Chains A and B, each alone.
Chain A
Amino acid sequence: MPSLSRLGALLSRHRVPYLLLLPSVLYLVSFTIYPILNVFYLSVTDLHLVKSLVPHFIGLKNYVELIRDDPDFRRIVLNTFIWTFGSTALQFALGLATSLILNARLPWRGFWRGIMLVPWVTPIVVVGIIWRWIYDGSYGLLNYYLNTFGLLHRYVVWLGEDATVWPAILLASLWKGYPYMCLMLLAGLQTIPQDVYEAADVDGATGFRRLWYVTLPLLKPVVAIVTLVALVLTWNNFQMIWVLTEGGPAYATSVLATYVYTKGFVFFQLGSGAAVATLSILVILVVCVIYARMLRLEEREL
């Protein structure tokens, strides 16, 4: 077996890094790669938390039921796109604006940068508590101020009405998520050499023109990577929505991520939940391929 002995030689030549990485790789294979493959398999079974603890193969039944028979599914898919793109766009806009502010010469700049990150480390359940209280229909701060300033003449249950629930979730998500975006963009801004700006100054490009024609084009690679990562993480973000509305009222704010939980752990239909997860993963995989391509492009450019 020549190939086997070649493999042996390879392993022994690189035994130090392989041994150092062995525990981590073993762990990652069993707790990150196996689960992804496992969820594909479970999606074609009848696994149920109460009725069928042993999975039986049932073909594409779960998928057919979701796509053809589930009256809420179409809305949930649509919601997922609204949520993902809405949240990412808002976070990007405020993140970029804030990174420009915090990249300017300011007194106590380091302090402001630190403060800016506080929502990012705040536990998601606490974020839920903070915003549910602000949005409260009887005693909430938002109702109070809007009524005091005469912008509104009634008390709104912000998280309970179809028209207001998405804006309310998106605002809370903006608060929680913009700091991370800002942090990354700030790091990107700092890689732009100062003399580029000086050259722009000489050419008379200032203010908005400088931002549009100098800063943003140079920031493009960072922007692409950061938004792509944010899109995927938002797509998968079950917690933000769950702590605010649990996907309700009814399914008004359910997305694929919350629906996996609802199916699997509220209705106990693990097989069906796995089918939702699989559909969701397929979309992420596409984004990952684009991401990986971009990383490779970057490398070539460097």
Chain B
Amino acid sequence: MSHRVLRRLGLYGALALVMAFTLSPYAWLVVSSFKPSTEIFTRTPSWSLQGGTLRNYIWALGPTGGNLGVFFWNTVLAAGLTAIITAVLGAMGGYAMARYAFPGRRELALALLLLPMFQGPPVMIPFYRILSTLKLLNTIPGLVLIYLSLALPICIWLMAGFFRSLPRELEEAALVDGCSPVGAFARILLPLTLPGLAATSLYAFVVAWNDYQYALILTSSERAKTIQLSLSELLTFFGQTNWGGIMASGVLTTLPVVLIFMVIQRVLVQGITAGALKS
């Protein structure tokens, strides 16, 4: 009996340690974001929020400070368009992968798994050249064109999984009842996969929202700069003087993705792990 109690205690202790490691850096970011500068640049940092202030947040959003509003909007546009296009192409492609047998299907499935391995630096220079040829450098459409490469393969894969989890009899019944294939897809299947589709496209949104490396090479001015890039520039310019403002900007940048993630977490995790294990 006491052996079991001991094991329980050990388990809770381990859980507490992992959660402390996971959450304390975050908590420190949030606490610091409410501190006045005198409380930040101190040799005796404290977790207390006494004397907390919203000044850092005002600085982060204000035109004389971080001016995040503009970049926020750019990023909403780029990530939103990426999410919408991914939803459409992902639903089409996922349905084909889930329901049809055709030559090239296995190869395509393998490619969808392997292509995400080549993200980032390996393709940075070609991406820069492609957008420069298309005259799309430093534009939102240019960013969307590149962000699709981050989102589309995994989203087709996810959608295929969601479609596969629905019984085939559903469409067959609809076809027997005189529905066209397109009608069966649009009226029967799509509504049923709506939670999956929503999770998939929001995941695409998060992926695009979180991008830093492509915005770094592909955008250069307020016209298209994303929130991540402007945040990294704040760090460069104000890293010695206004950590509080940078922390507040960091919290504002993170808030949307954490909120979205909380909403889609269950469906998404199910989809991702099912896909990974089936592979």
Spell out A's residues near B (CB within 8 Å): 10, 14, 16-18, 20-21, 23-25, 27-28, 30-36, 38-39, 42, 47, 94, 97-98, 101-102, 104, 106, 112, 114-119, 121-126, 128-134, 138-139, 141, 144, 175, 179, 183-184, 186-188, 191, 207, 222, 225-226, 229, 232-233, 236-239, 242-243, 256-258, 260-261, 264-265, 270, 273-274, 277, 280-281, 284, 287-288, 291-292, 295, 298
Query: What 20 new A-B contacts, CB under 8 Å, besides A28-B115, A129-B231, A264-B125?
Result: A14-B102, A20-B95, A23-B89, A28-B153, A30-B130, A35-B122, A35-B126, A115-B19, A123-B210, A125-B231, A129-B247, A130-B26, A131-B25, A132-B239, A139-B43, A183-B269, A229-B117, A236-B117, A258-B121, A274-B125
Contact B212 A239 (CB under 8 A): yes
Between A and B, 23 residue pairs with Cβ closer than 8 Å are A21-B97, A23-B92, A35-B123, A35-B130, A47-B125, A97-B14, A97-B18, A101-B18, A112-B19, A115-B22, A118-B26, A119-B22, A121-B210, A123-B210, A123-B212, A123-B228, A134-B28, A144-B45, A183-B272, A184-B276, A226-B276, A236-B120, A243-B212
Q: Is B206 an interface residue when CB atoms closer than 8 A count as contact?
A: yes
| Bound-complex Cα distance A101 to B16 (A) | 10
For residue A129, which residues in chain B have a CB less than 8 angstroms away from its CB? 29, 231, 235, 246-247, 250
B209 CB contacts on chain A under 8 angstroms? 123
Interface size, B (range): 35 or more
* A36 to B126 Cα, complex, angstroms: 8
Contact pick for B253, options A126, A229, A242, CB 8 Å: A126
- Would you list the 9 A-B pairs with minimal beta carbon distance, nearest first? A187-B273, A35-B126, A17-B100, A17-B96, A260-B121, A20-B96, A14-B102, A35-B123, A38-B126
**Chain A residues near B272 (CB-CB < 8 A):** 183
Is B25's CB under 8 angstroms from A130's CB? yes
User: Shortest distance in angstroms between A276's beta carbon and chain B's nearest beta carbon?
Assistant: 8
B258 in contact with A133 (CB, 8 Å): no
Nearest chain A residue, comparing its CB with the CB of B262: A114
Given contacts A20-B96, A141-B28, A295-B113, contact A42 B103 (CB under 8 A): no
B→A interface (CB under 8 Å): 7, 11, 14-15, 18-19, 21-23, 25-26, 28-29, 32, 40-45, 89, 92-93, 95-97, 99-100, 102-103, 105, 108, 110-111, 113-115, 117-130, 145-146, 148-149, 152-153, 156, 181, 206, 209-210, 212-213, 216-217, 228, 231-232, 235, 239, 243, 246-247, 250, 253-254, 257-258, 261-262, 265, 269, 272-274, 276-277, 279
Which label, helix, strand, loop or mixed, suits the secondary structure of the A interface?
A: helix
